[in-house]
Amino acid sequence: MKLAFDLLLDLWYIWVLLIISAILSMLRPKIKGALGEKSVSFFLARLDPKKYKVLNNLLIKVGSKTVQIDHVVVSNYGVFVVETKNYQGWIYGSEFDEYWTQVIYKRKEKFYNPVRQNYGHIQALKEILKEFENLKFVSIIVFTTKAELKVKAKTDVIYTVKLLKTIKKYNQECLTDEQRDAIYEKLKSANIGDRKNMREHVRSVRENKKKKTINL
């Protein structure tokens, strides 16, 4: 008995590694998502701050629901709403499919169409900004280069490295500096993204995902 105990004690580092591995496995999706959003934030920080006002990780409340939006860029050229996806493998889908498909080797998984997801984000923003009439919203879906996009959509579905070029192709002014700044301040004041609210939002999203998850 003592010999077995001593053996287990001598192998304590293996138990530590197993525990760390299990924790990292549970946290990996969250870490990957955060890294994807950070890389987009890095690119957005390179925009001219005199023309583009950036809000990252915005959490707003519309009715009884909270809506988390990865990035919003308020500019003289419209309001850009950016949804980031840190997926790898082949990505299949179209503008109006309810779900898109991720393929890694022979494994297929479905995830909710991010174009539809971002449409919901834009509707929430319209509700918050309803005092501003005829606002121009631009939806952009961003994937890292780990993914190979096989998507058919009119909406901009792009790689991270093409984000700035995509934003800058919209160059027709539709907002004055005063309107742009007022919209930015309105969204800043509507942001309820403290830790408590963000945790509650994440919990709610996970519960909804359990109901919607489809595995092929």
Confidence band, pLDDT 50/70/90 cuts, at residue 194 = low
Measure the CA–CA gap between 2 and 150, rounded to whole angstroms: 60
Token pair of 148 as six digits: 């190979």
Report yes or no on 141 lying in a domain: yes
Token pair of 17 as six digits: 């590694």
Report yes or no on 2 lying in a domain: no
Number of folded domains in the chain? 1
Q: Tell me, what DSSP letter sits at residue 215?
A: B
Token pair of 190 as six digits: 């509507």
Report yes or no on 27 lying in a domain: no
Q: Which of 49, 100, 44 is nearest to 72 (CA)?
A: 44
Report yes or no on 139 lying in a domain: yes
Cα 143 vs. chain centroid, distance in angstroms?
Answer: 10
| Domain span including residue 88 | 33-212
pLDDT in tens, 83-136: 999 999 999 999 999 999 999 998 999 999 999 999 999 999 999 999 999 999
Q: Which of 216, 2, 214 is nearest to 112 (CA)?
A: 214
Confidence band, pLDDT 50/70/90 cuts, at residue 197 = very low
pLDDT in tens, 29-86: 444 444 445 789 999 999 999 999 999 999 999 998 999 999 999 999 999 999 999 9
Report yes or no on 92 lying in a domain: yes
Q: What is the pLDDT of residue 19?
A: 54
